[in-house]
Structure formats: structure tokens, C-alpha cells
């Protein structure tokens, strides 16, 4: 439970610490004193949306901090530990510190157990620690989704497990159905794509291009296009290498002559013999080169113009493929390979459609079966919830009121089953039941919501309940009845209530007052208004209740009435305590 809440620079509160504990804690104060800042601080600590406008005027940032005590084996502590939080022992409990800061520019930071953490994680942990209910929740209770959520919470853990199984099957069914629909709707486009691929691959296969063929043909065409200049150059080179003219002998002849001269003198000097051997090697190289150039000339004469024409025709055919499919023949071949794979995939659509249809049918049967289980559980839970909430309404000064929870079958399964949930209220004897959103007043909605929470607390307990002026629009006996039910709820869980009703505040185990202080400058519109938060002792409680009753906290008559309220409330609390001890 919450042990303490500290608030800095939030709204009109500059610095405040709220001591909390088990049982019922009420927060009271004049209108505008800043009572709702307690709820705002809790909302921040629960990871809810932060509004920079809540930062106190002139302050750089606001801070909310809570000390939470939990059983050492509580699952929230395990989740906090996994995020790196420090958890301190506190007697028989473990202590966890939660903080949330909000800058005037709207930036928000959170820490859990002294370690920085995502605000989303703060929200996940907070959902299992505190349930906050305010006037906005009364409005939300009119919505079918909120009514369904309340019924599903009441249905218990077994129902929750079935709902999880249903939602997994439903998501799978929806995805398979989407894929199946997509395949069917796109079948014409896919047939057209397959036909285009078949034509393209037939065209490529007919030409049978080879890797690198376009580059090879380009080189060959360049060669043949310049055949005369190539022939002249080769002929000149061969003449220089192997000329038989006595006056201008060729390289081979000159090399052989040089070798003979060196060899003849080599007998007298080994170095010249070595030169002669090397000259012989040079002669062999020159002779081989001459033969290669001669062969090149012969090839030029054999290829001629006819070969060039053949090459240009082939290049034109390959260029058609390049223009259609890819920048080079190698890339055309790669595209063809991937297209063959794609064609096989397209050819398997019919088989895939049959497989998906079978899978969809099986999943649909599973969804329908699980939806039927949900409907059965909801119908059973709806009868019990209607009965228990109606009993609670009787205790809340609505003796003839009946809450009716209806479960209607929908045409198609949805994300939460195939049920529509409606809560109807018959506030008086003989009154026709009407939907909560149409027939219930604000005061009636307050009591219906409180009755539902009291009932749910028995099956889906949260350590702390916070109510923000849910007694709005209620007075007289109904206000006393609400105080009694809150006191009863506080025997099982921690309850914090922001209230303006003395009949409710009288039942508090702990009474906190928010006091507004305005200086003269503030009253003139130039200064600041601040609020203090104080825990009241018995005498202060009497004066605060007198203020709430008559606006005259020093009035003897008002104080006498306040003392009477406190005495009546104490008698009920004592009886509740004895009943609990008797069990």
C-alpha cells in the first residue's frame, strides 16, 4: 500500500507530504485549495499523461514521489527488480520508491527504486498497485467497453485465461483471413504477372545469352571495325621482326648475326659466351612473336566483313534484352533467375489459397468455440454481478434500485468475443431499466460505480483505491451510506478519498486537509497562491467537519453536529472491527 506521497510545485502546492496508511484516508479542503493535486500527483506516479500546465507558476519543474510497502513476494517487486530497481526492507514488508518529475516545458522523467525507467513501465506497475476513480470514470462507465471490462474483471482468473486464448486465436484467424482475401483479390494481377514473366523468360531463353557476351561482342566489333589499320600495323610489325631484305634486315636476322659474332669470340671470354646464349633466347622470342603476328594477320583475313555483320546482328538482339530487363547481360541473366523463382511462387498460389482456406476454417471453429465459452462464463458472471451490485445499491440508500447486466450475442466475433455487454439501471420500484448512459443521474452513477468497485474488490483486489469526489451530486442519507461502504471497503484495502461531504469524511481513519493561503498581492492578482497539507487530530477534525457542514468551523452547533457524525461513524467502524475479529 501507499505509505507516503510527497508533492513539490504541483498546481498550488509548493511542498507537501501526505502521511498515509491502512484503512480510509480522506482529503478535504475549500474549493480551489488544491485537493485534486493529490489525484494529479497519483496520476503522474501511475504513468498517466503529464500536462505541463500542472507545474506551479514560476517553478522549473514539479515532482511527485510515493513510498510503497508490499509483501516481499509481490509480483510488482519482481518486475521492478528486473528493471534494476533498489528495494529496501521495511519490517515485514519491502519498500519501493516511485518518482515522476515534470518540467515546465512538458518533459517528463520517471524513476523506480532509484533507477531511471520508462514512464510506460511506471504505468504497468501502477496498474497493479492503485485504482483511481474520478468523475471522468463515472462518464466512462457509460461506455460499453468500460462495462464489459467490469464484467470481465468480475468473471475471474479462469475467464481471463480463456479470454487470452480466444484473443490469440482471433488474431491468428484475422491474419490468415487477411492473407486469404489478399490472395483472392490479387489473383487477376498475379495471373497477369505470371504471364508477363513467362513471355519474358521465353524471349531470353530463345536468345540464350551467355555471361559477359555483350562485352565480348563489343570488343570483337571494335576490332573488326578497324581491321585495315590493324592489318597495316601488324604487317609493319612483322616486317620489322622478320624482314629478308639484305639492306634492312629484320630483328630476327640481326639478333642471329649478333649471336654468331658473340659465340665466335666466346671461346676467348666466358662473359661473351653468356651474352651469346642470352642473344639466342632473344632470337627465339623474336621468332615466336613473328609467328604470332603472322597468325593474327591470317585471322583478320579470315573474319572479314561477314563476321562483323554477324556480330552486329547478335549485339542488336542482346541490346533488346538489355533495354527491357537490365543494364547488362549479366544482370539480365540474374533477373531471369529471380523471375523463375517468382514464377514458381505465383504458380503455387492456388495451393496456398487452399491451405489458407483450410487454416482459416479451423481457426474460425476455434474462435467460435472459445467465444461460446466466454459467453457462457459472462452470462453466469452477469447474473451474479447484477445480484451483488443491486445488494450494494440497497446499502447505498437506493433500496429499490436494480442493476441489470445484459449479455447480447453479436453477429460476428470481435476482439473480446462475440458478446455485447450492457448495464441497465432501474433506480426505483416499477421503473423500466435504462442504459446507464441515458437514465442515471450523476449521484446515481457515483453509487453504481462505488457498488461495482466494492464487489470487484472481493474478486480482483488492488492494494489501493483512490476516489476523487465520486460523491458529487449526493447528499443526505445517500452520503452517509457512501461513507459506510467506503469504510467497509477500507477494511480490506487501502482507500483514499477526496471528498466535500462531511458524512463521508467522518468515517476516515486518517483525515488530511488542504489549506489555501493567499497573500494580499495574490488577492490583487499580482502574487501567488499556495496550499499547505496538514494531518488533522481529533479536535481539528471536529472543526473541519463543522466547516464542511455549515461553513462555520467555530460554531458550537456545527461542532456538536460534527461530533455526532464522528460518533456514529466510530460505532460502525467498531462493529466492523469486531466482526472481522470474530471471523
User: What's the pLDDT tens digit per position in 305-361?
Assistant: 777 788 888 989 999 999 999 999 999 999 999 999 888 877 766 777 888 999 999
CB 339 within 8 A of CB 200: yes
pLDDT of residue 521: 41
pLDDT band at 134 (very low <50, low <70, confident <90, very high): low
**Structural contact between residues 420 and 408, judged by C-beta atoms closer than 8 angstroms:** yes
Task: Indicate if the pLDDT at residue 519 is higher than 60.
Answer: no
pLDDT at residue 522, as a whole number: 43
SS (H, E, C) 465-521: EEEECCCCCCCHHHHHHHHHHHHHHCCCCEEEEECCCHHHHCCCCEEEEEEEEECHH
Percent of the chain with pLDDT over 70: 91
How far apart are alpha carbons 364 and 349 in whole angstroms?
22
Q: What is the pLDDT of residue 377?
A: 96
Percentages (nearest 5) of helix, strand, coil residues in the chain? 60, 20, 20
pTM as predicted: 0.62
- Read off the pLDDT band of 379 (50, 70, 90): very high
pLDDT over 90, % of the chain: 28
**pLDDT the model gives residue 480:** 85
Three-class SS of residue 91?
Answer: coil
Q: Which long-range contacts (CB under 8 A, 24 or more apart) does 121-126 make?
A: 121/47, 121/79, 121/83, 122/45, 122/46, 122/47, 122/98, 123/46, 123/47, 123/48, 124/47, 124/79, 125/47, 125/76, 125/79, 125/80, 125/98, 126/45, 126/46, 126/47, 126/98
> Residue 529: enclosing H or E segment and its boundaries?
strand 529-535
**Are 291 and 312 a contacting pair, CB within 8 Å?**
no
Residue 520 has pLDDT above 80, yes or no: no
At 523, the pLDDT band (50, 70, 90 cuts) reads very low
Gap between the Cα atoms of 248 and 266, Å rounded: 27
- Name 519's Cβ contacts closer than 8 Å, sequence gap at least 6: 527, 528
Q: Taking the CA of residue 345 as centre, how many other CA atoms within 13 Å lie in the half-sphere pointing to its CB? A: 10
Cα 558 to Cα 360, 544, 547, distances in angstroms: 71, 10, 8
Q: What is the pLDDT, as a whole number, of residue 524?
A: 42
Contacts of residue 581, Cβ cutoff 8 Å, sequence gap at least 6: none
pLDDT attached to residue 405: 94
Quote the Cα angle for 333-336-340, to 5°: 145
Average pLDDT of the residues in 54-62: 87
List the single range of 159-163, 204-208, 410-414, 514-518 with lowest mean pLDDT: 514-518
Q: Quick check: 527 pLDDT over 60? A: no
pLDDT at 416 > cutoff 90: yes
At residue 583 the predicted structure's pLDDT band, cuts being 50, 70 and 90, is low
3-state secondary structure of 405: strand
Per-residue model confidence (pLDDT) at position 375: 96
Condensed to tens digits (0 to 9), the pLDDT of residues 99-110 reads: 999 998 888 899
Contacts of 122 (CB under 8 A, 6+ apart): 45, 46, 47, 98, 100, 110, 112
SS3 387: helix
Contact by Cβ (8 Å): 18, 533:
yes
27 bridge partner residues: 498, 512
Phi-psi category of residue 212: left, alpha or beta, with phi > 0 → left and psi -120 to 50 → alpha: left
> Is 192 buried (19+), middle (13-18) or exposed (0-12) by CB count in 10 A?
exposed
Question: Over 80: is that where the pLDDT of 544 sits?
Answer: yes
Mean pLDDT of 271-294: 88
Over 80: is that where the pLDDT of 34 sits?
A: no
pLDDT grade, residue 414 (50/70/90)? Answer: very high
> What pLDDT was estimated at residue 135?
61
pLDDT at residue 247, as a whole number: 72
Mean pLDDT of 391-397: 84
pLDDT at 304: 62
Instruction: Check residues 183 and 134 and name the one with the higher pLDDT.
Output: 183
Under a CB-based contact definition with an 8 Å cutoff, are residues 250 and 284 in contact? no
Report in angstroms the alpha-carbon separations of 268 from 171, 275, 281, 389.
103, 13, 21, 132
- Does the pLDDT at position 303 exceed 70? no
Residue 161 reports pLDDT greater than 90: yes
Q: Is the pLDDT of residue 88 over 70?
A: yes
Q: How confident is the model at residue 266 (pLDDT cuts 50, 70, 90)?
A: confident
Amino acid at each position: 500500500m501507499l505509505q507516503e506521497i510527497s508533492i513539490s510545485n504541483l498546481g498550488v502546492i509548493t511542498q507537501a507530504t501526505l502521511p498515509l496508511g491502512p484503512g480510509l484516508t480522506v482529503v478535504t479542503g475549500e474549493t480551489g485549495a488544491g485537493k485534486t493535486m493529490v489525484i494529479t500527483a497519483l496520476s503522474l506516479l501511475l504513468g498517466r499523461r503529464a500536462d505541463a500546465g500542472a507545474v506551479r507558476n514560476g517553478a522549473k519543474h514539479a515532482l511527485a514521489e510515493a513510498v510503497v510497502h508490499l509483501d516481499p513476494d509481490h509480483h510488482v517487486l519482481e518486475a521492478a527488480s528486473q528493471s534494476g530497481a533498489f528495494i529496501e526492507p521495511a519490517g515485514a514488508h519491502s519498500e519501493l520508491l516511485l518518482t515522476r518529475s515534470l518540467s515546465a516545458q512538458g518533459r517528463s522523467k520517471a524513476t523506480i527504486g532509484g533507477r531511471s525507467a520508462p514512464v510506460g513501465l511506471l504505468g504497468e506497475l501502477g496498474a497493479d498497485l492503485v485504482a483511481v476513480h474520478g468523475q471522468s470514470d463515472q462518464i466512462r462507465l457509460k461506455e460499453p467497453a468500460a462495462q464489459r471490462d467490469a464484467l470481465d474483471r468480475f468473471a475471474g482468473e479462469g475467464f481471463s485465461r480463456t479470454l487470452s486464448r480466444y484473443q490469440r486465436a482471433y488474431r491468428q484467424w484475422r491474419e490468415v483471413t487477411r492473407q486469404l482475401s489478399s490472395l483472392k483479390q490479387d489473383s487477376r494481377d498475379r495471373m497477369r504477372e505470371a504471364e508477363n514473366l513467362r513471355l519474358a523468360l521465353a524471349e531470353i531463353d530463345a536468345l540464350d545469352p551467355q555471361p559477359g557476351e555483350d562485352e565480348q561482342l563489343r570488343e570483337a566489333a571494335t576490332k573488326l571495325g578497324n581491321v585495315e589499320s590493324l592489318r597495316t600495323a601488324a604487317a609493319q610489325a612483322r616486317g620489322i621482326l622478320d624482314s629478308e631484305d639484305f639492306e634492312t634486315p629484320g630483328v630476327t636476322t640481326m639478333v642471329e648475326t649478333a649471336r654468331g659474332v658473340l659465340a665466335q669470340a666466346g671461346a676467348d671470354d666466358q662473359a661473351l659466351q653468356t651474352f651469346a646464349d642470352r642473344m639466342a633466347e632473344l632470337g627465339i622470342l623474336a621468332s615466336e612473336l613473328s609467328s604470332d603476328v603472322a597468325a593474327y594477320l591470317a585471322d583478320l583475313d579470315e573474319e572479314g566483313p561477314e563476321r562483323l555483320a554477324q556480330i552486329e546482328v547478335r549485339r542488336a538482339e542482346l541490346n533488346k534484352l538489355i533495354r527491357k530487363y537490365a543494364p547488362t547481360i549479366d544482370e539480365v541473366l540474374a533477373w531471369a533467375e529471380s523471375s523463375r523463382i517468382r514464377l514458381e511462387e505465383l504458380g503455387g498460389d492456388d495451393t496456398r489459397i487452399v491451405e489458407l482456406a483450410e487454416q482459416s476454417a479451423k481457426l474460425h471453429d476455434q474462435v467460435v468455440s472459445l467465444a461460446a465459452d466466454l459467453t457462457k462464463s459472462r452470462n453466469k458472471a452477469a447474473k451474479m454481478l447484477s445480484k451483488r451490485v443491486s445488494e450494494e445499491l440497497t446499502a447505498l440508500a437506493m433500496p429499490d434500485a436494480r442493476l441489470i447486466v445484459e449479455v447480447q450475442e453479436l453477429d460476428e466475433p470481435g476482439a473480446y468475443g462475440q458478446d455485447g455487454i450492457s448495464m441497465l439501471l432501474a433506480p426505483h420500484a416499477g421503473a423500466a431499466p435504462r442504459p446507464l448512459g441515458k437514465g442515471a443521474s450523476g449521484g446515481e452513477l457515483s453509487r453504481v460505480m462505488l457498488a461495482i468497485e466494492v464487489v470487484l474488490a472481493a474478486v480482483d483486489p488492488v492494494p489501493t483505491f483512490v476516489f476523487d469526489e465520486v460523491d458529487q451530486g449526493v447528499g443526505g442519507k445517500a452520503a452517509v451510506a457512501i461513507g459506510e461502504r467506503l469504510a467497509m471497503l477500507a477494511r480490506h484495502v487501502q482507500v483514499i478519498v477526496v471528498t466535500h461531504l462531511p458524512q463521508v469524511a467522518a468515517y476516515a481513519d486518517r483525515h488530511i486537509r488542504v489549506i489555501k493561503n493567499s497573500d494580499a498581492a495574490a488577492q490583487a492578482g499580482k502574487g501567488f497562491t499556495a496550499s499547505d497539507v496538514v494531518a488533522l487530530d481529533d479536535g481539528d477534525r471536529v472543526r473541519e467537519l463543522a466547516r464542511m457542514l455549515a461553513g462555520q468551523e467555530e460554531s458550537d452547533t456545527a461542532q456538536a453536529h460534527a461530533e455526532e457524525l464522528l460518533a456514529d461513524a466510530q460505532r460502525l467502524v467498531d462493529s466492523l472491527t469486531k466482526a472481522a475479529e470474530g471471523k
